Amino acid sequence: MRYSRMGTIGANRLGLSPARTTLGLCLISATLLAACAQREIILPGKREPVTSVLSSSTPVDEEGTAAAEAVTDEARAISLPAQVANADAAQGFGTPDFRTDHPRLNATLTPVFSVNIGEGDRRKHRIVADPVVSGGRVFTLDSETQVTAVSTSGAVLWQTDVLPDGAKSGDATGGGLAADGDVLYVATGFGALTALDAATGAEIWAQKLEGTGSGRPTVFGDLVYVMAGDDTGWALDKSNGRIEWQVTGSENLTNVLGAPAPIVTDGLAVFSFGSGEMRAVFRQGGLRRWDASVLGEREGRALAKFGDVTGRPIARDGVIYAGNQSGRTVAVAAGSGNRIWTADEGAIDTVLPVADSVFLVSDRNELLRLDAADGSRIWGMPLPNFVKDRPTQQSEVFAHHGPILAGGRLHVASSDGVLRSYDPASGALVGTTEIPSGATTAPVVAGQTLYVVSRKGQLIAYR
């Protein structure tokens, strides 16, 4: 054999006998065969695909195995607040003064118009600003810095670009909107806040804040509150943009794009930082009142490690509810920051308290109903998670925005192109409406009309 002959030649060159060479080769061969003959060590436990946590909404325990038997969903009656025909939805509804608890809306929704508002979602840019409605106008911010005002009948009234001086278009994304009387306040991903005339789009003032990225502003009294850089909260004079005071939290570099609107309650302004901290300060002077946190992650199955407060904080009846993407939702006392309860469920978007319950879209892509008294689960309805049938591309993860309560139903707008409506008592799916190209913002309701912005940069209205 060629192998033996080469081995003999090599052995002769080293001064070894053919017999000793043959013996050595036999020993080596025996060793290799013995190694190959060893039995594979099979670890105990249930076998699961590595992608099973992404493709299923079934809860798992600390070992990563299914724990569906621990989930006891139930339908439970709920006493909804009366429907109100609100004309405006001018600011984020985390602050009670700006919230209509139950807007009037038809059970069956039909699209009435669709308007282009600028750049849609792209690889490096995202629309994150929910539309606001004020004074018969709907205001939007595209994935860059273009602001559009649209009439409630669907006519474009004006468009303007709020790109800061010296900045380059496309270098930043994100931001938020808030309307107050005749003024529209626009925060952008450049860390800038601009005040515009709501009727014409003309600039009133602009203020560059330290840090990149800005969240949705809140206008209350004489001040505008906004987060910039995920670790600094600002209070500005709403008439001229002059900085009144600022508060700083812990720095954190792994954050979600944008930031929740600060909420105002009982003389306090509450800011949510990228580190998961919440801080309440006195509105006069910004002195600290209390600190709380939305920290922790789901054991066994945390799909995200971000500590950012992504479950938009909302104040109701002396309690503030908030959540993160890693598997925690909390309720704290608005006056002291003391923890009331913690739920081992993450909140992707809005944390919505209604009557005796709290509704949210969880980090496991479930629409959840929790008990407002202790955070325990009442029911959960699975939402689409990701596109499975794309063999040549990475799977697309669906985004879900909401929920909101309107017309006696819970509404969730999703990037898979569907607006879903659910019964608040049982969680049953009771209606679907198409969103061409999918949603990229949460829906808002005003004037018995539901507005949502699509991923292609279209403002779509439904009645």
Query: Is the pLDDT assigned to residue 360 strictly greater than 50?
Result: yes
In a domain, 2, yes or no: no
Query: Of 9-18, 239-248, 403-412, which range is least confident?
Result: 9-18
In a domain, 311, yes or no: no
Q: DSSP assignment, residue 447? A: T
Type of residue numbered 197:
D
Query: Of 155-159, 232-236, 326-330, 437-441, which range is least confident?
Result: 326-330
In a domain, 188, yes or no: no
Query: Nearest Cα to 398, choosing from 387, 389, 388, 390?
Result: 387
Mean pLDDT, to the nearest integer, of 144-169? 95
Alpha-carbon distance of 441 to 132, in angstroms, equals: 11
Q: What is the pLDDT of residue 152?
A: 97
pLDDT band at 214 (very low <50, low <70, confident <90, very high): confident
Mean pLDDT, to the nearest integer, of 360-381? 96
CA distances to 163, 173, 228, 236, 277 from 190, rounded to whole Å, are: 8, 7, 9, 17, 23
In a domain, 77, yes or no: no
Per-position DSSP letters for 404-419, written without gaps between them:
EEETTEEEEEETTSEE
Q: DSSP assignment, residue 339? A: E
Alpha-carbon distance of 232 to 443, in angstroms, equals: 28
In a domain, 299, yes or no: no
CATH number of the domain within which 414 lies: 2.40.10.480
Alpha-carbon distance of 73 to 378, in angstroms, equals: 5
pLDDT band at 290 (very low <50, low <70, confident <90, very high): very high
Residue carrying structure tokens 């939007």: 140
Bridge-partner residues for 454, per DSSP?
439
Cα 305–307–312 angle (5° rounding)? 120
448: containing domain: 101-121+400-463
Q: What is the pLDDT of residue 276?
A: 84
* Mean confidence (pLDDT) of the chain: 84
Per-residue pLDDT of 393-422, as tens digits, reads 555 689 999 999 999 999 999 999 999 999
**Three-class secondary structure assignment of 354-371:** ECCEEEEECCCCEEEEEE
Indicate left, alpha or beta for 19 from its phi (over 0: left) and psi (-120 to 50: alpha).
Answer: alpha
Alpha-carbon distance of 382 to 445, in angstroms, equals: 24
Please say whether the dihedral angle defined by the alpha carbons of residues 276, 222, 203 and 139, taken in this order, is positive or negative.
positive
Number of H helices, E strands in the chain: 3, 32
Three-class secondary structure of residue 242 per DSSP: coil
Mean pLDDT, to the nearest integer, of 19-45? 51
In a domain, 448, yes or no: yes
In a domain, 3, yes or no: no
Query: Nearest Cα to 363, choosing from 376, 351, 375?
Result: 351
In a domain, 277, yes or no: no
Q: What is the pLDDT of residue 256?
A: 60
- Between 33 and 256, residue with greater pLDDT: 256
Query: Of 7-21, 399-413, 427-441, which range is least confident?
Result: 7-21
Per-residue pLDDT of 293-335, as tens digits, reads 887 776 655 455 666 777 789 999 999 999 988 889 999 999 9
Q: Work out how many domains the chain is built from and give that number.
A: 1
Q: Averaging pLDDT over each range in 226-235, 303-312, 335-344, 390-399, which range is the top one? A: 335-344
Mean pLDDT, to the nearest integer, of 205-216? 85
Query: Of 15-24, 30-39, 192-201, 251-260, which range is least confident?
Result: 15-24
Alpha-carbon distance of 204 to 445, in angstroms, equals: 28
Residue carrying structure tokens 């059970």: 107
